Structure 1
Amino acid sequence: MPKIETDDGVQLYVEETGTGFPILFVHEFAGDHRSWEPQVRHFSRTHRCITYSARGYPPSDVPTDPGAYSQQRAVADAIAVLDALSVPKAHVVGLSMGGFTALHLVLRHPSRLASAVVAGAGYGAQPERQDAFREECHATADAFETEGAAEVAKRYSVGPARVQFQNKNPHGWAEFAQALAEHSNLGSALTMRGVQASRPSLYALTDELKAVTTPVLIVVGDEDEGCLEPDLMLKRTIPTAGLAILPQTGHTANLEEPALFNSTIDAFLTSVDRNAWRTRDPRSLSTSTTGMK
């Protein structure tokens, strides 16, 4: 199993498939490197696809120090993967927790990104929902520690934005739920507390987001209620952002609607590669309907 080492000595499991310009895929909390299989099968025809399991997700190491888990560390780990594979620049595609990482890469390491796909990112971002989100994160972390991943997965996998996947594709959803049930109890708990519950609100980053020049595509399912409003904010704030809303789709968009997800990303990457992805014209931000006033 190929692994790379981060600057704090953590070993991360990495897989590469295909050749061409690199795409780095960053998984969600309930996933791991395997979550991107439909995307790797599609994009490895034309790109060098890189997937990895975050720290806390075997076969990557599971540090026992709670201080080893944070949003900042998640960003540093993504850069460590690129550095170890001698990738100076890549497209980055992240879902949920990975979407937050992709967005922070845009803010902290823009020179390393050709573009970023920020999918299903937004849970807990709204200031009025932060406290409740953090409480739920800590309760979930406690459940991983006391009940174990196998029990938590039974509830987590049928959350309000996961049932769409279950209804559309019971077999695919069952594979997703089984993989979640096999996660590290400790790694999941520490990730939930250190990364999910402790990350800064996107609404506190609006000044930085307004200065983004990297091409960004925001992707969200229209039934992913926790992400819709934050993603509208991101679209309105990031001048280089496009927003794709997938119909009748929940949170696990890349697995729930792989063909639509892939074609949406494909069109975006093609536009970026052709230098055709535009910065928003400020005139479109007017509150006037007709432009006559």
Structure 2
Amino acid sequence: MKEKINNDRRDILTKAAAVATVVATGGISNNINAQPQNIASNASKEESKHIPIPKQAPAKEGVLSLSGGAGLYYWDTGGEGPAVVLSHPGRGSALTWPYQQPVFAKAGFRTIAYSRRGYFGSPAGSKNDTGNYADDLNALVEHLKVDKFHILGLAAGGFAVSDYLVSYPEKLLSMTIVCSLFGLWDKNIDERLDFILPKSFSDLPPEFKELGPSYRWAHPEGVKEWLEMEKKSRGDGVRHGQKAKNSITWEKIRAAKVPTFFIAGGADLYQPPSMMRAAAREIPGSETLVVAEAGHAIQWEQPTLFNSVVMAFFKKHS
């Protein structure tokens, strides 16, 4: 039965992937100025089946101690393949990736995820010693003896990714930014958020802000699982905030010359596809993809498609 469900899901998402690549800039392409040749839509009347959270691959867990009583909880599947580090959103933690962990590991990637200070399993430490995104992550990869790796940041996780990119570019094989606009402030891009996000937006339920409406309607069981993950990810609630090690600019990002892949959800309220395309235009050679119907949590809503395109990008740059 489980195999049939997965096959049904795979068939539907294969069609959705074809749609997504058209809705994006003419496909998963490094030609960011390309225009779609035609408009396609998913004409199927069938709804994809809910995919239960899969059994996780064996992984080493630990907490890396940092100064001021802080620490970073992490899990690491190990292995000799290329390393991948996953940077979680503000509504998540190292627990954000149950659909990726076993799939990436089976594909031969050494997959690592961690919780930033104050999130699940990671003590916040002293408010007078908050460290920074880049040095925290670098301490972790050095502790795990990882020399070079692919990095993927989802939503607020993109802040840590961009800080690491400009601080330690020589250690990155590639960078994937999902539903995020790095940790920089761009007047021409960020000021437009005032037009699309009302002041009351922050008061809305997290599942409404994070998950696309199609997913919430079709998969209430998945919404429940996501809410359980989100609640657990909050940790003990103590969080002091954190800053970047460096100022982030488009010039510094371009200078790093790291292969870059942007992924946006077609139904993302925070970071719409048009915002992703504006960012992609700043990085020559970057690749883009819009996933139809997905909200701010593509890795949860459409994991089969997400895993497929992300692993293909990793393999191309390993």
The TM-score with structure 1 as length reference comes to 0.74
Q: Which runs of 5+ in 1 are unaligned?
A: 141-151, 274-293
SS at match of 1:159: helix
In structure 2, the residue matched to 1:276 is none
d(CA) in 1 for partners of 2:215 and 2:153? 18
AA aligned opposite 1:86: K
Instruction: Answer whether contact 1:62 1:186 (CA < 8 A) is retained.
Output: no
Q: Which runs of 5+ in 2 are unaligned?
A: 1-60
The TM-score with structure 2 as length reference comes to 0.69
In structure 1, the residue matched to 2:181 is 122
In structure 2, the residue matched to 1:235 is 280
Structure number having the greater helix percentage: 1
Instruction: Answer whether contact 2:65 2:72 (CA < 8 A) is retained.
Output: yes
Larger relative contact order (CA 8 Å, sep ≥ 6): 2
In structure 2, the residue matched to 1:206 is 250
d(CA) in 1 for partners of 2:258 and 2:66? 25
d(CA) in 1 for partners of 2:197 and 2:288? 27
In the TM superposition, 1:259-274 aligns within 5 A as 259-273=304-318
SS at match of 1:245: strand
Higher mean displacement: 73-82 or 57-66: 57-66
Percent identical pairs in the alignment equals: 23
SS at match of 2:180: coil
SS at match of 1:57: coil
Return the offset for 1:201.
Answer: 9.6
Instruction: Answer whether contact 1:122 1:226 (CA < 8 A) is retained.
Output: no
AA aligned opposite 1:260: L
1:128-147 per-residue CA deviation (whole Å, 9 max, x = no partner) reads 1467999969x95xxxxxxx
Give 2:135's match in structure 1, choosing from 76, 84, 95: 76
Count of equivalent residues: 250
Return the offset for 1:53.
Answer: 1.2
Give 1:22's match in structure 2, choosing from 83, 91, 94: 83
d(CA) in 1 for partners of 2:163 and 2:196? 20
d(CA) in 1 for partners of 2:270 and 2:307? 22
Change (3 A) 1:186 1:67: farther
d(CA) in 2 for partners of 1:16 and 1:132? 41
In the TM superposition, 1:275-290 aligns within 5 A as none
Compute the RMSD of aligned alpha carbons. 3.2
Return the offset for 1:165.
Answer: 3.4
Give 1:55's match in structure 2, choosing from 111, 117, 125: 117
Higher mean displacement: 241-250 or 164-173: 164-173
Change (3 A) 1:160 1:106: closer
